[in-house]
Amino acid sequence: MNKPSNSELQQRRLAATPRGVGVMCGFYADRADNASLWDVEGREYIDFAAGIAVVNTGHRHPRIVRAVEEQLQRFTHTAYQIVPYESAVVLAERINALAPIEGPAKTAFFTTGAEAVENAIKIARAHTGRPGVIAFGGAFHGRTLMGMALTGKVAPYKLGFGPFPSDVYHVPYPSALQGVSTDDALAAIEALFKSDVDPQRVAAIILEPVQGEGGFNVAPPELMRGLRALCDQHGMLLIADEIQTGFGRTGKVFAMEHFGVKPDLITMAKSLAGGLPLSGVCGRSQVMDAPAPGGLGGTYAANPLAVAAAHAVLDVLAEEKLCERSQRLGALLTQRLEALRERFPVIAEVRGLGSMIAIEFRDPKTGKPDAARLQQVQRKALEEGLLLLSCGMYGNAIRFLYPLTIDDALFAKALDIIERAVQD
């Protein structure tokens, strides 16, 4: 039986699904393996998107496939809240041992990253008895109502969806290109306490250690230290949203390990289960125990197939030394990008941690964001079979999210394509 063409599937998608689900590519996936995917017409692409940082361990890693197959032979669903199972308990134990949390930790599992964020806010409010939450401009925390309220980017995430939950406040995230320093960000929080909200009404401050949709902006260490001090001073919780940064992406299991600062809660998802839907919140035991029984959960939370995959992810992460590999690949990419930046002033900055790297395009004469140049580079790379994602408040940054298991030769080929795309 002949497969439908990309153009046929595109027409059917437009007729059958709503425009609100934005789709970047006009081709349709047929199969994938490690860092490559093939469309329904047989064309191969090097995947530098990784399902938006979901397959850090590559497409269809044999260990993950085997783990899911074995679990399929046992059971696929009981609802953990009805009939629990050992694999979820052991996974929580493993996460608790890995997470940079002060003192004893506990972990609850959910399904999506947005669920993890929602539940982290619930837990923080239950623990503190306070409603307020401080987030950052440029942040992305999900598409649920609370997720949108926390997200610091209007288009396309908030357009037409208000009103949003109250008691959410935003301050600028440090960015040298935006002219925002750490002192500016911390001063903005102090200003909030003077003009908008009593700190005794604030439950938590939430931030991404490296902003994802916001442009791969890395939190300065002094920001983390300042936030920790503010939280300790006022009895607030510090929540690290590690949904995109977790599980080796920045060269550590969790990005917070770079900063020497321990949050009270960590949200996680994406690469936790290597392509299967699983998320979690890990935090200090006394904080995690604040909600009453039944206050947390979900029908598909801690899905047994996803839990099995997550165990395999943690095994692969350790056995294949993917954190070290993340640092090595990121260094190679950064070196090549910095060389391009010296030759092409339209690249205003190369930034990131480990293998969470981005370049930002700005007009070298005016300093204004240059989204058009990004689109040209992205289109040229795609013509050569390399899939790249954009990000940033102005859509003028390219983020590089290859699987950490990518073959060295394929990685080198991708770097050559990037160089040609920028040159052209």
Q: How many Å apart are CA 36 and CA 29, to the nearest integer? A: 11
- Annotated catalytic residue: which of 241, 247, 252, 380? 241
Task: Assess whether pLDDT exceeds 80 at residue 107.
Answer: yes
Tell me the DSSP string of 26-53: SS-EEEEEBTEEEETT--EEEESSHHHH
Q: Domain 6-60+321-423, what fold?
A: Aspartate Aminotransferase, domain 1 (3.90.1150)
Give pLDDT tens digits for 37-91: 999 999 999 999 999 999 999 999 999 999 999 999 999 999 999 999 999 999 9
- 270 in catalytic set: yes
Which among 335, 420, 422 has a CA at the least distance from the CA of 384? 420
Strands (E), 105-208: 105-110, 132-136, 168-171, 202-207
What pLDDT is attached to residue 291?
A: 98
Give pLDDT tens digits for 368-393: 999 999 999 999 999 999 999 999 99
Which tokens sit at 4? 């439908």
Q: Give Rg (Cα) of the chain.
A: 21
- 413 in catalytic set: no
Task: Assess whether pLDDT exceeds 80 at residue 179.
Answer: yes
CATH class of 65-319: alpha beta
What is the number of alpha carbons within 13 Å of residue 261 lying toward its C-beta? 24
Q: How many Å apart are CA 142 and CA 120, to the nearest integer? A: 13
- Annotated catalytic residue: which of 27, 136, 140, 400? 140
Residue ranges matching CATH 3.90.1150.10 in the chain? 6-60+321-423
- Annotated catalytic residue: which of 153, 252, 270, 380? 270
Give pLDDT tens digits for 310-334: 999 999 999 999 999 999 999 999 9
User: In one letter, which amino acid is 187?
Assistant: A
Overall average pLDDT of the 260-280 stretch: 97
- 140 in catalytic set: yes
Residue ranges matching CATH 3.40.640.10 in the chain? 65-319
Give pLDDT tens digits for 340-359: 999 999 999 999 999 999 99
Overall average pLDDT of the 9-28 stretch: 95
Q: How many Å apart are CA 188 and CA 200, to the nearest integer? A: 17
